[in-house]
Structure 1
Amino acid sequence: MVNRNLRQFPAVVVGRLSSQTIAVRWSDPRSGYYGEQTWRASQSRKHAVCTATGRAIRRGDTVFKPTSQGSMQPFNRGEMILASGVLYDETSSE
């Protein structure tokens, strides 16, 4: 039996690439599967909802946002992942 009250989030954090970047796998039924993207740490400029957890994001929170590939803007450029929700092993090497 499927619990229809559980929301599926399109972003899954795959791993930490550096102190400022994470790898994210994106899959959304409306826009499709886009494999892994690199997301970079930034400060939120607006209130939003974390695309990986559904938690509230406030202006000024540290978040991760998709990076651009040259002049190509990612389709999900307005999405954010709350940095405090990203778990990683701080003892691992970069």
Structure 2
Amino acid sequence: MSTREYAAAQVARVQVEILEQSENTLIIRWLEPGRCHYGEQRWRRRAARAAGVCVVSQRAIRRGEDVFRPAERPAPRNASAMISVEACRLLNMVSGEFR
């Protein structure tokens, strides 16, 4: 399934919780009802290979933009999903305000 197809069909149903974050790595909990669940999944920072949609912010992602993507092998069922680096920065700013 292409990134664009994944975004259109699945983004609204996905539940993502960022458990840990560094500059180049995320550890997330991913729940997609009826499709897959990952309790602790490692994602790495990369350039987007194709246009798509951020599963956290639901904003458009352009090819070449910095994103986080699943890093595991073999490729998981959510391998084409992306989280915008900018969305992670915004989440950090907002969560810092409530601490």
* Range into which the TM-score falls when normalised by the shorter chain: 0.7 to 0.9
Q: Which runs of 4+ in 1 moved over 2 A?
A: 7-12
Pairwise mapping of residues 69-84 of structure 1 onto structure 2 (< 5 A)? 69=73, 72-84=74-86
Q: TM-score by structure 1 length?
A: 0.73
TM-score scaled by length of structure 2:
0.70
1:22 partnered with 2:26: yes
Q: CA RMSD in A?
A: 1.8
CA drift of 1:83 comes to: 0.6
Aligned 8 A contact 2:14 2:33 in 1: no
Q: Is the 8 A contact 2:17 2:30 kept in 1?
A: yes
Match of 1:31 in 2: 35
Query: C-alpha displacement at 1:8, in angstroms?
Result: 4.5
Consecutive unaligned residues of structure 2, counting only runs of 5 or more, are 1-11, 94-99
**Correspondent of 2:68 among 40, 54, 64:** 64
Q: Is contact 2:13–2:33 with CA below 8 Å preserved after alignment?
A: no
Alpha-carbon deviation of 1:68?
1.6
Larger Rg belongs to: 1
Residue equivalent to 2:52: 48
Of Structure 1 and Structure 2, which has the larger fraction of its residues in helix? Answer: 2
Q: Secondary structure at the match of 1:86?
A: helix
How many residue pairs are counted as aligned between the two chains?
Answer: 80
Distance 2:59 2:43 in 1: 18
What is the percentage of aligned positions where both structures have the same residue? Answer: 34
Find the counterpart in structure 2 of residue 10 from structure 1.
Answer: 15
